[in-house]
Structure 1
Amino acid sequence: MLASSTTTYDIEEISFSDKELAGLELPHDYPLVVSPTISNFVVARMLVDTKSSADILYLRAYDKLGLARKHLKPVATPLTGFTGHSIHPMGISDFDVTVGKGSQMVTV
């Protein structure tokens, strides 16, 4: 699980042209999938879910980023799903995420 950041940034509009709509049935509600760089590691696909109250990174993905588990900070609060089943996260962590290209690149 990742901690939420309270840092604010100037918001720049992200838009898509009709070219990106090729092959899509409209109207649609497809998820947004991006390829960010996290801790200097390029992630092939990351789902952007703006409706989630928690940012979850599976341990296998965390390990593939080359991050040390010793940097996970303990967390006492369990995560409970819609079914009522709860799990206890291994911890929380903060790290840089870079998205964009060229002059449109930003690290948060």
Structure 2
Amino acid sequence: MNAIPPSAVVTAFSDARDERLAARELAQKLLHPNLGCVVFFCSIDYRLDRLAGALAEAFGDLPLCGCTSAGEITSRGYDSGTIVAIGFDRRFFSVGARLIER
């Protein structure tokens, strides 16, 4: 079995308070030609309506999914007030998503 290279999963975080700036920072760090999906965890401090629009603008048609968190684990360690994102290379991962309504 072939090993998955470390570059197949990339991570990034932003502590920018402005949703558009945070989304652009994440896109700048994660976007590459084979990026297939991004999963994010964000602080409840962000305005989710603004963040959703900013992420859609920054990542285009790329599948995105995420949720709020009570704290985030960044390259600085445990953090809060941030957005953490994980990007998966489509050459090594297949991702499916489905909305689960309450």
TM-score grouping bracket, smaller chain normalisation: under 0.3
Larger Rg belongs to: 1
Q: Which has the higher strand share?
A: 2
Q: Which has the higher helix share?
A: 2
